[in-house]
Amino acid sequence: MTTTGLKSPIGAMAPSVVPPSGRIDIQHKLMIGLLTVLAIGVAATFTLPALWMLLGSLRPGSQVIESVSPLSWHTLIPNTWTLENYTTLFGELRFGTSMANSLLVAFASVIIGLALSVPAAYALTVLHFRGREFVFSLLVIGFMIPFEAIAIPLAQLFTDWGLNNSYVGLILPGIGNGLAIFNMRQFFQGIPVSLREAAVIDGASDLRIMTRIYVPLSVTTLINSGLLIFLAQWSSYLWPLLIISDEAKQVAPIAIARTYTDTSFNFGQMFGGALLISIVPAVLLFLLQRFFAQSIATSGEK
């Protein structure tokens, strides 16, 4: 403790202008130590339930609850390891079909959603016409009303239109996203008008300008908007609950929720299913988290 002397604090740890002193150095290290312990504690609290689910899905289902008393390491760590829960999920429970349905719906929604939002954002950025701000507000506010709020009346309409129990019925409500249009327009506004003007003089059409200039310049924003649409559709629960009764077209969140209320179902399989529906968003978010946090966190700022 006494040997620290006048050793100056390591580069970035403290602002260089503060005169270094041993006491501050020790205090600082202690503080860092305490904060690290706190951070580990917080991290463990958030991870533990997920870890318990993961390990629970790798043990015979009955052991999930049996292992609670007496409380021991085996409450968390299985004494018997098995992949049986997963083979049952993909075998007789046909969870693979539900996962495939979810993937199809989410990807189709992203593609259609972007094909719809990009031209809209483009027109609202570069074209001048009366009522432009009105159309913009209509689209953004309209799509920002959480879908849940109008899901029930919309489901009744979809039933009238014969769209229940169809993929089209699942995809359509996910294609419009106010935040996506808003973000894209924000980004398009940052692209110099001179680029378009030069292209117009060269005789390029707006379709060409949009696909050759605006789209390539806004890949980050497009990824982010696509991710928003994908995640919303992937975790959608109320909507498929309302319009899908045909098991062959059911999406994964509902398929796994159905089993929760089924008393004969085993917890290991349930945990396996819950984790399987988390893998796709997990992979996407970890790959794309930079884009994700950035553009939303700053969209309110600049």
Partner 1 sequence: MHPTVPVRHSLTRRQLRTAVLFLAPAVAAIVLLRLVPFLGAAWSTLFERAGVGLLAEERFAGFDNYVTLFGDPLFLNTLVRTIVFNLVINPVQIALAMAIAVLMTRRIPGRGIWRTAVFIPCTIPLVGSSIAWGVALRGDGPVNGILSALGIGPQPFLTSPTQALPSIILVASWVGIGYWMLFLIGGLNDINNEVYEAASIDGASGWRTFWSITLPLMKRPLLFVLVADTVANFVLFVPPQLLTNGGPEESTTLLMFDAYRRTYTYSQPNLGATSTLVLTLIMLLIVAIQFRLLRERD
Per CB under 8 A, contacts with partner 1 among 200-239 are 206, 234-235, 237-238
Count of residues engaged in binding partner 1, rule: CB under 8 A: 101
Q: Give the separation between CA 122 and CA 191, rounded to whole angstroms.
A: 11
* Binding positions for partner 1, 115-144, rule CB under 8 A: 115-117, 119-120, 122-124, 127-130, 135, 137-144
Q: DSSP state, 30?
A: H
Alpha-helix residue ranges (DSSP H) falling in the chain: 22-56, 63-66, 73-76, 84-90, 95-126, 132-144, 147-160, 167-171, 178-189, 193-201, 206-209, 215-217, 219-234, 238-243, 252-261, 267-299
In the bound complex, what is the minimum distance in angstroms from residue 4's beta carbon to partner 1? 19
- State which residue, 89 or 139, has the beta carbon closest to partner 1: 139
- State which residue, 32 or 219, has the beta carbon closest to partner 1: 32
- State which residue, 7 or 208, has the beta carbon closest to partner 1: 208
The CA R_g of the chain, rounded to the nearest whole Å, is 26
Q: Give the separation between CA 111 and CA 98, rounded to whole angstroms.
A: 20
Q: DSSP state, 176?
A: -
In the bound complex, what is the minimum distance in angstroms from residue 220's beta carbon to partner 1? 14
In the bound complex, what is the minimum distance in angstroms from residue 30's beta carbon to partner 1? 12
Q: Which of 146, 202, 216, 264 binds partner 1 (CB under 8 A)?
A: 146
DSSP code per residue over 47-75: HHHHHHHHHHTTS-TTHHHHTTSS-SHHH
19 binds partner 1 per the rule CB under 8 A: no
- State which residue, 8 or 36, has the beta carbon closest to partner 1: 36
- State which residue, 2 or 69, has the beta carbon closest to partner 1: 69
**164 contacts 156 by C-beta, under 8 angstroms:** no
* Binding positions for partner 1, 78-107, rule CB under 8 A: none
62 binds partner 1 per the rule CB under 8 A: no
Task: Give the residue among 108, 124, 142 at the shortest CA–CA distance from 230.
Answer: 108
Angle at 228 between CA 226 and CA 229, to 5 degrees: 65
Instruction: With contacts defined by CB under 8 A, name the span among 43-51, 91-99, 162-170, 216-224 that binds partner 1.
Output: 43-51
Instruction: With contacts defined by CB under 8 A, name the span among 77-85, 86-94, 103-111, 193-201 that binds partner 1.
Output: 193-201
Name 38's Cβ contacts closer than 8 Å, sequence gap at least 6: none
In the bound complex, what is the minimum distance in angstroms from residue 148's beta carbon to partner 1? 4
One-letter amino acid for residue 70 of the chain: P
In the bound complex, what is the minimum distance in angstroms from residue 85's beta carbon to partner 1? 13
30 binds partner 1 per the rule CB under 8 A: no
In the bound complex, what is the minimum distance in angstroms from residue 206's beta carbon to partner 1? 5
Q: Give the separation between CA 63 and CA 72, rounded to whole angstroms.
A: 13
What track of x and - describes contact with partner 1 for positions 148 through 187 (by CB under 8 A)? xxx-xxx-xx--------------xx-xx----xx-----
Instruction: With contacts defined by CB under 8 A, name the span among 81-89, 93-101, 146-154, 220-228 that binds partner 1.
Output: 146-154
24 binds partner 1 per the rule CB under 8 A: no
| Ramachandran angles phi, psi of 233, nearest 5° | -70, -40
**In the block, residue with structure tokens 């506004």:** 189
In the bound complex, what is the minimum distance in angstroms from residue 221's beta carbon to partner 1? 15
| Ramachandran angles phi, psi of 79, nearest 5° | -90, -20
